[in-house]
A and B are shown apart, each in its own frame.
Chain A
Amino acid sequence: MTRTYVQPESGTQTLKDLPPSTPEEIRRMAAQAGLQLPDGIMEELCKAYPAFEAMVRRLPRARLKFDEPAHHCVADARIGKLDQ
């Protein structure tokens, strides 16, 4: 029997069902981010972004309020202590 350490996610909701952004929407987001890209590179971004958008939308949402973010300065036993 395989022992499992997977616990049900505190946040099960995702954004997977949203429709993918259109190239026009991606251009608008880039403009809002202040990116002024040459046409060819903007085309690259429009081609690449959907894969990353789908990835981000798979992240669980609506987590329990006390689920804190990891902090990159914590690399010691504090991670383990959080479970006790």
Chain B
Amino acid sequence: MRSSLTILLFFALGVMVGIFNFAPSYIIQNDLSHWALYLLMLLVGIGIGADASALKAIKALNFRIALVPLFTIVGTTLGVLLVYLILPMFNLSDMLAIGYGFGYYSLSSIFIADIRGDELGVVALLANIMREIITLLFAPIFASLFGKLSPIVSGGATSMDTTLPIITKSSGKDYAMVSLIHGVILTILVPFLVTLVLGLN
């Protein structure tokens, strides 16, 4: 949680620097961010490979537990599709790409900004922060109204870290492991699904 605040702080600081034109123009115009993204993906990959809990999560997969990330992926697809049909703000593949951030706002916003430009990157950042905040606020209500899996799927990729405490509180300790596995799987899938759906365009 502390690091998510720091992440947002760095972003806000960047926005200020940009608004007040403090940045030398070569920073804005060059392709540095592209290389930085490559570096980030290498580091994220190393983090997943070295993480014992990621391996444990995949080993602990069984039919029922594998269903939960599937609910999230299918549900997010249908929900975003519905929003698109009511109000097509962007084209469908762009909107789905934003949805497939599953709350993992740092990675998905950087990724989408790099492929589709800054405007969509901002929407991805905001939408995925909102998904995390909605989960933090409503997990207890979701659990009592819609069953114990609902806070987990709402949290998306964050169900392994930032929203895990509130999910455990709302759904009970029995669901902590499901929540962790769900978050790990979605975290790994985010770059793949985003790339895939943007490639369809």
- A and B, one complex? no
Task: Enumerate chain A interface residues (CB-CB to B < 8 A).
Answer: none
